[in-house]
Structure 1
Amino acid sequence: MNKLSRHSFVFLSIVGLTFSFSAYSKEIRIGVSLPTQRDIGWVRYKQGLEDAAKKSGAKIFIQVADQDASVQASQVDNLLSQKIDILILAPQDAAAAAALVTTAHKAGVKVISLDRLVLNSNLDMYVSFNNVKIGELQGEYIAKNLSKGNIVLLSGAPTDNNSKLLKDGALVHLQPRIKNGNFKVVTEQPITDWQPSVAQKIMENSLTANKNNIQAVIAPNDNTAGAVVQALAAQKLTGKVFVTGQDGELTAAQRIVAGTQSMTVYKDQKKLAAEAIKVAMEMAENKSVNTNGKTNNGKIDVPSVLLAPIVVDKNNLDKEMIQSGLFKKEEVYKYIK
C-alpha cells in the first residue's frame, strides 16, 4: 500500500468510526402528549417520564392538553414539527385520537399509547396497567365483603376507553350477584371527564332517590371516591357504605385509615412511565420490545406491555404505601388522633 493509499485508508476509517459512533449515540427525541395534570396520577406520570428520559439520555418534549381534545391535536402537530423520533400519547378522547395516530404515521413517527388506549387506529404499542384486572379487583372486593345490598355503579369518562375496561372488570364479580338478586344496581352512570363534582352530584341524587338505602359504591378512581365520600358524609353514612377507588392517592390512603373509603388499587405510575420511556427508546432504535400481551382497540390487536396493580385496604396499607416509601406515615395518619 503506497503512502497516499495508507493516508486515505486511515482517513476513511476515522470517518467510518465517527459515523458509526454518531449513529449509535444519536439523541432520541421523545414527544409526549398528556391529557391533564388535574389529578395526582397524571402528575406522577409526567414526573416519571421526565426522570426516566433524563436517565436514558433522551430529549423529551411534554405537552398537556388540560382535558381538551382539540388542544391535544394542536399539541401533537407541534410535537411532530419538533422532529421527534417517537410519540407517547395518552389520549383525552380515545376515539378522536385515532386521527392523531394517522397524523404521526404520515410524519414517519410511531405511537405508543400510555395508560389510555387509542381506539380504532393502527397504534404501534400500548403501555399500561391491566385495567380490566383493576376493575376485577374492585368488583371482587365488594363481592367478598358484602353478601347483599343496593349498589351504585359509577364509571369514568365516556371518552376514555379505560372507563369501559374498569367497568367490565368489576362486572366479572358483580354480575353473578346481580343475576341471582343479591345485588341490585340502583344507579349506573358515567362521570363526565372524571370530574369529582359530577360524581358527588350523581351520588347525592342516588341517595335521595333510594332514601339512603345503599350498601356499596363502585367509584372508578380515588378522586371520584373522595366525592362519593363527601356525599355520604352529608347523610352521616361514612364508614357504613363500601366505597372502592383506584390510583393509590394520598387522600385515598387517608380515607382508608379513617374508614371512609374501603380500598384503592395502587398503580406505580412512575414505574409505568419508566417502562414507557424504555419501550420508546427501543422502538426508536428499531429494537425488539418484550411485550406480554395484545389489546384489541376495535381495529387491531395492539402489542402491549401491561403491569400488574395491587389492592390496598386497611390490612396492607402500611406495607404497600408506607414501608415502600410511597408516603410518609405522618402524612397518611395526619387526621387520625
Structure 2
Amino acid sequence: MKYRRILFSILAVILLASAAGCSSSQNEEHKASAKARLITEDEKVYVGFILDTLQDERWYRDKELFETQVKELGAEVKTLAANGSTEVQISQAELLIAEGVDVLAVVPYDAEAAAEIVELAHKADVKVVSYDRLIKNADVDYYVSFDNEKVGELQASEIVKKKSKGKFAYIGGAETDNNAVLFRKGAMKVLQPLIDKGDIELVYDQYTEKWDPAVAERNMKKALKKEGNKITAVVAANDGTAGGVIKALSASGLAGTVPVSGQDAELEGVRRVYKEIQSMTVYKPIVTLAKNAAEVAVKAGRNENIATETSVHNGKADVPSILLEPIAVTKDNIQDTVVKDGYLDKKDITGE
C-alpha cells in the first residue's frame, strides 16, 4: 500500500497535467492541489467514490451518507461525479487510482463501458465495489444494491391495483443503466401474465435517455398522441421520469386520473403521492445502502473477509452481492415509512 501510493502520487500529477482542456497555468494549479489531496497516512484506507451524477436529489444523500460512514470507519474518501459522461467517469477513475486509492466504489453511468474502470483498477491492485448499479461484463469484486427486479415488481403491482385492464405505457430509465433494465424485467413479471390474458395492452414501451425527465415527458406525449390520449396507466421507472410523465398528462388534462408509478422517494415524488397525482414511489433506505457499501469498501481496502449471502451474474462473473429490500410507498403508508425513518419531514411533504 505504501509503495503503491508513492508511485501513484507521481502518476497523479502526470494525469492531471495531461487532462483535456487545461491551460499550462491550470495544470500547475491541478498539480499542487493533487499533492495536497493525496492521503499521506500509509496504513489508512483510501476510498474513491465515483458517482454517475449529482444532478438528482438522491445522489447528494448517497454522497453525504457514504462519506460520513467511511470516515466513521477510520478511512478516508474522495468523491467525484461524472454527470452523465463515460469518458469523464473513466478519467476520474484513472485519477483516483493514480492518487493511490485502495478501493473504488462506483455508480456507473454506462454499465457496459464501466468494465474498463474495473480493468484499470485491478491492474493497480485496487478493488471495485459496484454501488447501487451493477457494472456489467467485468470481474467486479462486490455489488451492494437493492433487489432491483423487486423494485419493478412493486411498481407494476401497485399500478395494477389501481387499473388491471386497459392500455398501459412503460416509461423506463436509461438503457445504459443496468438497474433500469432490471426494473423493467421486474415490472414485466407482473404485467406479462395480464398482457397474455388480453387484459392489458402495452401500447408504449420506451427507455429514457440519461433518466432525463424532459425526455420522459416527450416520450409520454408521443404515447398520448399515438393513442388519442387513451392511456389507462403508466409504469414510470423513477420519480424523475414520473414527473415528466405527469407534466405530459397535465397538458392533456389527465393528471391524477391516470395511475403513475415512481421510485427513489424523492421529496417531489412523495409530495405527488400525498396529493394523489402520483400513485406510488419506492423507498430504498439510502442510509442502509450507504452504510453497507461503506463497510464493504473499507473492509475490501483492508483485505478483510466480507460475508455475502448471494451473488449476481453480470455477464462475466458471479459477483458477491448484498441486496437490500425496497419498500412500496403509497399515500396510506407515508407516515410509517419515509417519515418514521426520518428520511423526509412530514411538513415538507404536506406543506402544513
Q: Same fold (TM over 0.5)?
A: yes
> Which amino acid in 1 is paired with 2:97?
L
Helix, strand or coil at the partner of 1:53: helix
User: Which residue matches 2:321?
Assistant: 304
TM-score scaled by structure 2? 0.86
Residue 76 of structure 1: which of 72, 87, 93 is its match? 93
- Deviation sequence 1:228-284 (CA, Å, 0-9, x none): 111111111111111000101110111011110000000112321111110111112
The amino acid across from 1:30 in the alignment is V
Aligned to 2:333: 316
The normalised TM-score by structure 1 is 0.90
Backbone CA RMSD of aligned residues: 1.3
Among candidates 39, 42, 59, match of residue 56 of structure 2: 39
Distance 2:318 2:160 in 1: 31
Give, in whole Å, the separation in 2 of the partners of 1:40 and 1:293: 30
Name the residue aligned to 1:59: 76
- 1:329 and 1:46 map into 2 onto residues whose CA distance is 23
SS of the residue corresponding to residue 57 of structure 1 reads coil
Q: Secondary structure in 2 aligned to 1:242?
A: coil
- Please say which structure displays the higher CA radius of gyration: 1
Q: Which of 217, 224, 228 is the equivalent residue of 1:207? A: 224
Instruction: Identify the residue that residue 237 of structure 2 maps to in structure 1.
Output: 220
Q: Deviations over 1:302-324 (max 9, x none)?
A: 10011111000011011112232
What's 1:18 paired with?
Answer: none
Moved more, 258-267 or 279-288: 279-288
Measure, in 1, the Cα distance between the counterparts of 2:161 and 2:346. Answer: 28
1:144 Cα deviation after fit: 2.7
**CA offset at residue 89 of structure 1?**
1.0
Which of 175, 179, 189 in structure 1 is aligned with 2:192?
175
Counterpart Cα distance in 2 of 1:228 and 1:293: 35
For 2:26, the equivalent position in structure 1 comes to: none
Question: Would you say 1:145 and 2:162 are equivalent positions?
Answer: yes
Which whole-Å CA distance do the structure 2 matches of 1:90 and 1:330 have between them? 32
* Alignment check: 8 A CA contact 1:222 1:246 kept: yes
3-state SS in 1 of match to 2:331: coil
The number of residue pairs the alignment matches comes to 312
- Counterparts of 1:158 and 1:112, CA distance in 2: 21
| 2:66 alignment counterpart | 49
**Equivalent residues of 1:30, 1:84 under 8 A apart:** yes
Task: Name the % identity.
Answer: 42
CA distance in 2: counterparts of 1:111 and 1:136, whole angstroms: 29
Structural mapping, 1:1-337, within 5 Å: 26-334=43-351
Q: What secondary structure does 1:205 align onto?
A: helix
Q: Secondary structure at the match of 2:78?
A: strand
- Give how far 1:44 is off: 1.2
Partner Cα separation in structure 2 for residue 144 and residue 73 of structure 1: 43
Q: Amino acid of the residue matched to residue 170 of structure 1?
A: A
Q: Is the CA contact 1:48–1:271 (under 8 Å) kept in the aligned structure 2? A: no
- For the 8 Å contact 1:47–1:270, the answer to whether it is kept is no
SS in 1 for 2:343: coil
